[in-house]
Homo-oligomer: A and B are copies of this chain.
Amino acid sequence: MTSLVPPADVQGTYDQLIRADKVHGSVYTDPQIFGEELRKIWFRTWVFIGHESEIPEPNDYVRKQFATQDVIMTRDREGAVHVLINRCAHRGLQVCDDDKGNSSSFRCPYHGWTYRNSGELLGYPYNKGYGGKGKLDGLGMGQVPRVDSYAGFVFASMAKEGPTLIEHLGSAKGEIDRLVGLSPEGTVQLDAGWLKHKTRSNWKFLAENETDGYHPQFVHGSIFGVTGSPIGALYSDSSTAVTRSLGNGHSENDLRPEFRKFGEPMRWFGTTPERVPEYVGRMNEVYGDDAERRMIEGAPHVMIFPNLFIAEIQVFNIQPNAVGECVQYSTAVQLGGAPELNRRMVSQSIGSVGPAGMLLADDTEMYERNQRGVEMLDPEWLDVRRGLGRESTDENGFTIGAATDETGMRGFWKHYKSLMEA
């Protein structure tokens, strides 16, 4: 509705809509802006698609959502990963209708054209109609031009050129390393399935919320209270945890200061070494002196722009459907060589995330109330000034704020604006 009532005092340029301490509500509700986001962000920058462990074998494939696009993440005969757009080069039919499987090729049901799982056109029936075989060079299923992965996390970019994935990840890369570093085998799998949570909210409310350390005590007080969880304390005024803007729109809640303070291995996981002896043993074996640090500091809590959120033991893939709707795909982290932990992570994740999760269902309620709220006309702005007055720069030159500060959001908007104005 606000799109019917453009704000009187802004011209709509991103410089006016996005300011140091506030953001205009229309960026969450204007369909034109969403269309521009598709072109300038979702179909240009690196977007998280899935994990290699979902397609372990040659010729495995799984269908995925890539913003508004229906894509297939495939592993070809040689093991290379591709992201294909699910559209036939003949008359544009949706080619693949299975959610996942194993096949070296795809066949379109309409006229029987077939494609290699890397997208090339393999054959077309009655080829005389085209003057014989091999006469349709250049036709094939759409292949997302750039696909790359890090620690098995597969990202895709629709832009033929641009920053590499490593450049895009920048310092967020280290957070993925931290996660992998909790595996005795140095590997992570995301093969426990994905929950699919429909959210009637603009995708940015999710991205901003992921490292918003201000909300947990309020939104999640109900579960913290009944379970006696210590999590709330990590996001309080007295917490030593910091919120860090990692550049390129990435941000994290760095909880290590709190965990170091206690210095208790596995506290980050809400348990003790005694309760997971096998795991602790393997970690000590593999990492020796450094094992304790790893088990004390725990997993990262990082939002990787625009759509990958690693929340310690869960991973979220956020994909937009429309200006006011998106999907949260969530799963449990599974660490190579840690069966003991993995089962617990599955169980905890089921309790926490997804449509009925005791944490995420409440976040999602906020996202949806937020979307309804910004349809209202006054006040027009969202405030993001929290912590602006007490930010500092860390040893690596990153801006950091207190545990409950909006430092991450400001980093998000800085990068968002740079992309939208590009």
Q: Identify the A interface with B (CB < 8 A).
A: 1, 4-5, 25, 28, 31, 34-35, 38-39, 43, 68-70, 85-95, 97, 109-112, 125-126, 128-131, 136, 139-143, 214-215, 217-219, 236-237, 366, 369-370, 372-379, 382-383, 385-387, 389-390, 402, 404-405
B373 & A109 in contact (Cβ 8 Å cutoff) = no
A109 & B219 in contact (Cβ 8 Å cutoff) = yes
Q: How far is the CB of A85 from chain B (nearest CB, A)?
A: 5
Q: A215-B111, A370-B91 are in contact. Are A129 and B375 (CB under 8 A)?
A: no
Q: How far is the CB of A284 from chain B (nearest CB, A)?
A: 39
Can you list 10 A-B pairs with a CB-CB distance of less than 8 A?
A4-B68, A68-B375, A87-B378, A88-B373, A92-B376, A93-B369, A112-B217, A112-B218, A139-B383, A142-B377
Determine the chain B residues whose CB is within 8 A of the CB of A85 once the complex forms.
376-378
B404 & A25 in contact (Cβ 8 Å cutoff) = no
Determine the chain B residues whose CB is within 8 A of the CB of A377 once the complex forms.
43, 69, 85, 142
Determine the chain B residues whose CB is within 8 A of the CB of A139 once the complex forms.
379, 383
- Of B93, B129, B389, the residue contacting A370 (CB under 8 A) is B93
Q: How far is the CB of A339 from chain B (nearest CB, A)?
A: 38
A373 & B86 in contact (Cβ 8 Å cutoff) = yes
CA of A35 to CA of B25, assembled, Å: 18
- Of B34, B89, B136, B376, the residue contacting A86 (CB under 8 A) is B376
CA of A85 to CA of B378, assembled, Å: 7
Q: A110-B366, A370-B110 are in contact. Are A376 and B70 (CB under 8 A)?
A: yes
A378 & B142 in contact (Cβ 8 Å cutoff) = yes
Determine the chain B residues whose CB is within 8 A of the CB of A39 once the complex forms.
4-5
Instruction: Please name the residue on chain B nearest to A86 by beta carbon.
Output: B376
- Of B5, B142, B215, B219, the residue contacting A379 (CB under 8 A) is B142
Determine the chain B residues whose CB is within 8 A of the CB of A87 once the complex forms.
373-374, 376, 378-379
CA of A184 to CA of B31, assembled, Å: 55
Q: A1-B68, A4-B34, A86-B373 are in contact. Are A382 and B91 (CB under 8 A)?
A: yes
**Most B Cβ at <10 Å: residue of A39, A219, A366, A405:** A366
**Most B Cβ at <10 Å: residue of A87, A109, A376:** A376
A389 & B131 in contact (Cβ 8 Å cutoff) = yes
CA of A131 to CA of B385, assembled, Å: 11
Q: A34-B4, A94-B373, A370-B110 are in contact. Are A236 and B386 (CB under 8 A)?
A: no
B370 & A5 in contact (Cβ 8 Å cutoff) = no
Q: How far is the CB of A38 from chain B (nearest CB, A)?
A: 6
- Of B95, B214, B369, B370, the residue contacting A126 (CB under 8 A) is B214
- Of B28, B109, B215, B405, the residue contacting A366 (CB under 8 A) is B109
